[in-house]
Structure formats: C-alpha cells, structure tokens
C-alpha cells in the first residue's frame, strides 16, 4: 500500500517539478559579471568605509572616487541586478503544487480504503510547456544584458560628467588667477599713476580712472571666487560628497594633444563599442524572443493530477489539456504587438546610431577647431599682446601715450588669456564627450 502510494506521489511530483525553472545559457555569466561590477555597492551604504581623496586629487582620482560613491550609478547597478532576478521568475512554472485529500463517509462510518490523497498542479493555473518557459527566460536574459550595458553606459557618463565638472572647476580657478594677476598689475599701475601725479606728470582723472579699474577687477575676482565655490559644489555632488567638502583646485588647465584617430575610426568605435547601441541590440533580441513567446501561446497548456487511496488499492492519473480556441484573436493581436515592438526597437537603434554619429562629428569639429585656435593664440596672438603691453608701458612712462592706452593693452591681454582658458576647457569637455560615446580614451 505504502509503496503504491509513494509511487503515485513521486509520479505527480516528478511531472510537476521536472523543468520547473529554466536557466538559459548566459545567465550564470551575467550574474558573475554583475557580482564583479557591483563590488563597491554590495555593502550597505551606512556600513561602507569612507574613501579619502588625496589632498590634490588628479582627474583619475576623482573618477575612481565617483565610480565607487555616486548614488545614481549605484541605482543603475541595482536595476541591472533586478533585471537579472527577472530571469528565473519568467523561466519558472506559474502553477503551484497542490495536494488534495478526500474521505468518503458511508452510513456514518469510514475506512482506510475510502480515504484518498492526490498531487497535482494548482487547478487555477495550467502547467506551462518548457518551450514557453525557455522563450520567456531568454527574453528576460536579453533585457538583463541590456540593463548591464546601461550600467556600463552610466559609468562612462559619470566619468564624463566628473571630467567636465573638473574642467569647469579648473577653468574658474584659472580665470580667478588671471583676474588676480590683473588686479595686481592695476594696483601697481595705480601706485605709478599716484607717483606721477605727485610729480605733476599725471592728472586727477588718471587717478580716478585707474582706481575704477582696480575696483572693477577686485569685484571680478570676488565673483569668480563665488563661481569657483559653486563649481566645487557641483563636482562634490557627483562624487557623493558634502557640497562644502574641501577640494583643492587644479593648477592650470589640462594640456592639449591632437586626437590621433581619424573621423572614420572614431565613428567605427561608436558603432562597435557604444554601450547604448549594444543595449538596444539586446532589446531587439528580447523583442524577437517576445514574438516567439507570443506565437507559443497557440500551443495548448495542460494540467495533471496523480492520486491514490490510502489503502493502496486504487491509483489514478488525470490529465487535462487547455486549448486556446476562444483566445485566438487575442493571441493574434499579441503576436502583432510583439512584431510592432520589434520594429520600434529596430527603429530606435537606427536613430540612436544616427544621433550618435552626428554628435561625434560635431564634437570632432569642435575639438579640431579648438586645436586650431589654440595654436593661433598661443603661438602668435599672446606673444604679440604681451609685447604690446611692454611697448605701451614704456611709452606711458616716457609720456608719449595715455594711461588709457596702457590699460587697454592690459585688458586685451587678459581677454585673450580668458579666451585661451575657455578654449582649453571646451576642448577637454568635447573630447570627454567623444570618449563617453566611444567608451575609450582617444588621445
């Protein structure tokens, strides 16, 4: 009796549980990749050791710090992990194991042969065929891969944001230094003008003019220092630090080097390495799996129950097939919807590739134009402006020109140096944008 009951129970459990969860090829590798990439985020935030930035951090130091501490990047990681956990959910039977017990009562009496026990699937949900589970799990895997690539994209975007913010921070520091140097020059000029006035060689209007210039320059210094503090706050936010955390400004702007790759090479890098394009490609694959899954809904599902009386005399095996005859139009619509989703994903990927190509071409034009202008200003115009100041100073001291001529020459030099600083910052940011979309350094 017990052997017969055990056999029927094993039969039912085997039928229901065999292949209950499908794990598609590639799921294990995706989980391993997520485990490695998410090492900085696995410890709860409140229990993590606080990293310390060097006293004068380099751009690479800031990027490393941000990659380990930026909360938005961490959110992208957990979205990836969430997408991975969808795989076993979609690849698992939707039905539950149901155990049924029964007892016949005859004339108020019972006996062992009237009691029965059955094992089967939940009568509210059918057993899903393995091909349907496989298609659903593969679709979830493709979506998880897309989420992983978007995490990778978020890493490069965060790197770009940090480098761009650092370029702005360095630019504000450089502009403040230039203006401080300008104020010192004007202050020296003011002392010279006052000396000439006492000697009768300069009028009162010269003193008033130079004092106004000095006050305006000092006001510009104070304004630039405020902008520097704001730039530091923006950078600290990206790093996941307090807005007022100390951050030593960089001395000077990054040096410029030509982009070695030509336009065709950079565009090829975008096509082959851009994480967003790769993510969209996996979403296209997921949509294709969705079409297959929608078509599999034409295939009937089934239910199965195995039972035995407790006396071990009678065993039963009952099956039921659910034919989706009345749902044909709904399944047709689901297939058409899945095909439409595929076309939409393909179109999105094409447009994303076109948009990225346009962005890359514009950034390359800006980088190379900045290189051209920097070459002109640094090799030709700046030396001339500095020479002009020396001539104007000697001429003014000899009484052959006015103070306005000397101040104009100084204003021109400061304006040129500001322009050079802005050009360097723009070049750094456009090059960073190129490296973000190509997912690699280009210099």
CATH at residue 46: 1.20.1600.10
Residue span of the structural domain in which 214 resides: 22-96+128-300+325-438
Q: Would the pLDDT of 100 be above 60?
A: yes
**Eight-class DSSP state of 378:** I
Q: Express each pLDDT in 181-217 by its tens digit.
A: 888 888 887 887 787 777 776 677 878 888 888 899 8
Q: How far is CA 340 from each of CA 139, 287, 295, 297, 330, rounded to the nearest angstrom?
A: 16, 9, 14, 17, 15
Q: Is the pLDDT of residue 337 over 90?
A: yes
- Percent of the chain at pLDDT > 70 equals 91
Tens of pLDDT, residues 242-295? 999 988 876 777 666 677 778 888 899 898 989 999 999 999 999 999 999 999
Span 28-87, pLDDT tens digits: 999 999 999 998 898 888 888 878 888 888 888 999 999 999 999 999 999 999 999 999
Is 15 within the bounds of a domain? Answer: no
d(CA 121, CA 94): 10
Rounded to whole angstroms, the Cα distance separating 430 from 407 reads 34
Is this prediction's pTM over 0.75?
Answer: yes
Q: What are phi and psi of 185, to 5 degrees?
A: -65, -45
Sign of torsion over alpha carbons 392, 393, 394, 396? positive
How far is Cα 152 from Cα 148, in angstroms, rounded to an integer? 6
Burial (CB count <10 Å: 0-12, 13-18, 19+), residue 297: middle
Q: What percent of the chain has pLDDT over 90?
A: 49
**Whose CA is closest to 396, among 384, 383, 410?**
410
Q: For residue 54, is it within any domain?
A: yes
Domain contains 267 = yes
CA distances, 168 to each of 65, 284, 315, 367, 418 (Å): 18, 38, 80, 16, 13
Q: Pick from 162, 371, 156: which is nearest to 270 by CA? A: 156
Which residues does 4 contact at the CB level (< 8 Å), separation at least 6? Answer: 308, 312, 315
Note whether residue 349 is domain-resident: yes
Mean confidence (pLDDT) of the chain: 86
> In the prediction, which pLDDT does 201 show?
65
Q: What is the pLDDT of residue 342?
A: 95
Decide: 69 and 52 in contact? Cβ < 8 Å. no
Task: State the Cα–Cα distance between residues 57 and 65, nearest whole angstrom.
Answer: 10
Listed residue (7, 29, 299) closest to 148, CA to CA: 29
Q: Is residue 319 part of a domain?
A: no
Number of compact structural domains in the chain:
1
pLDDT tens digits, 348-394: 999 999 999 999 999 999 999 999 999 999 999 999 999 998 898 88
The reported pLDDT for the residue numbered 19 is 47
Cα dihedral across residues 128, 132, 134, 140: positive or negative: negative
Mean pLDDT of 421-442: 87
Domain contains 14: no
Residue with tokens 């100390």: 246
Q: What is the pLDDT of residue 294?
A: 94
Structure tokens at 55: 């006293």
Mean pLDDT of 137-163: 95
Asked if the structure places residue 105 within a domain, the reply is no
The confidence score (pLDDT) of residue 1 equals 46
> Cα separation of 181 and 218, whole Å?
10
295 in any annotated domain: yes
- Provide the pLDDT confidence category of residue 18 given band limits of 50, 70 and 90: very low
Q: Tell the residue number behind the tokens 């530091």, with chain if given.
A: 232
Give the closest residue to 24 by CA, choosing from 94, 89, 87, 93: 87
Q: What confidence tens digit (pLDDT) does each residue in 292-307 have? A: 999 999 998 888 777 7
- CA 334, 340, 344, 347 dihedral sign is positive
Q: Report which DSSP code applies to 99.
A: E
Most confident range (mean pLDDT) of 91-105, 144-158, 204-218, 289-303 is 144-158
């Amino acid at each position: 009796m017990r052997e017969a009951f055990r056999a029927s129970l094993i039969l039912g459990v085997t039928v229901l549980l065999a292949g209950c969860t499908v794990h598609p090829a590639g799921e294990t590798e995706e989980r391993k990749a997520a485990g490695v990439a998410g090492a900085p985020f696995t410890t709860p935030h409140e229990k993590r050791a606080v990293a310390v930035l060097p006293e004068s951090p380099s751009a690479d130091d800031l990027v490393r710090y941000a990659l380990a501490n930026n909360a938005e990047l961490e959110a992208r990681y957990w979205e990836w992990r969430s997408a991975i956990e969808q795989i076993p959910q979609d690849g698992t039977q939707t039905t539950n194991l149901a155990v049924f017990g029964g007892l016949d009562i005859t004339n108020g009496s019972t006996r062992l042969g009237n009691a029965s026990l059955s094992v089967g699937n939940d009568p509210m949900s059918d057993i899903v065929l393995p091909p349907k589970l496989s298609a659903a799990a593969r679709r979830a895997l493709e979506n998880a891969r897309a989420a992983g690539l978007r995490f990778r994209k978020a890493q490069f975007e965060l790197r770009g944001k940090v480098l761009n913010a650092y370029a702005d921070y360095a630019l504000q520091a450089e502009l403040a230094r230039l203006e401080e140097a300008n104020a010192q020059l004007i202050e020296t000029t003011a002392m010279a003008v006052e000396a000439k006035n006492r000697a009768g060689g300069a009028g009162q209007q010269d003193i008033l003019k130079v004092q106004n210039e000095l006050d305006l320059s000092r006001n510009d210094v104070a304004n630039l220092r405020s902008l520097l503090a704001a730039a530091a706050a923006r950078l600290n936010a990206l790093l996941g630090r307090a807005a007022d955390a100390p951050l030593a400004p960089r001395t000077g702007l990054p040096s410029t080097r030509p982009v070695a790759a030509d336009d065709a090479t950079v565009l090829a890098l975008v096509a082959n390495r851009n994480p967003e394009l790769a993510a969209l490609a996996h979403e296209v694959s997921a949509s294709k799996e969705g079409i297959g899954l929608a078509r599999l809904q034409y295939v009937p599902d089934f239910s199965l129950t195995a039972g035995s009386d407790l006396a071990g005399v009678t065993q039963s095996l009952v099956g039921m097939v659910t034919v989706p005859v009345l749902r044909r139009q709904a399944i047709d619509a689901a297939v058409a919807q899945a095909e439409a989703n595929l076309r939409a994903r393909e179109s999105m990927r094409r447009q994303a590739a076109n948009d990225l190509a346009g962005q890359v071409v514009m950034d390359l034009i800006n980088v190379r134009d900045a290189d051209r202008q920097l070459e002109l200003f640094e090799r030709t115009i700046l030396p001339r402006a500095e020479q002009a100041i020396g001539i104007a100073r000697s001429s003014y001291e000899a009484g052959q020109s006015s103070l306005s001529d000397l101040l104009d020459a100084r204003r021109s030099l400061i304006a040129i140096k500001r322009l050079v600083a802005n050009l360097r910052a723009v070049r750094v940011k456009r090059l960073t944008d190129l490296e973000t979309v190509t997912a690699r350094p280009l210099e």
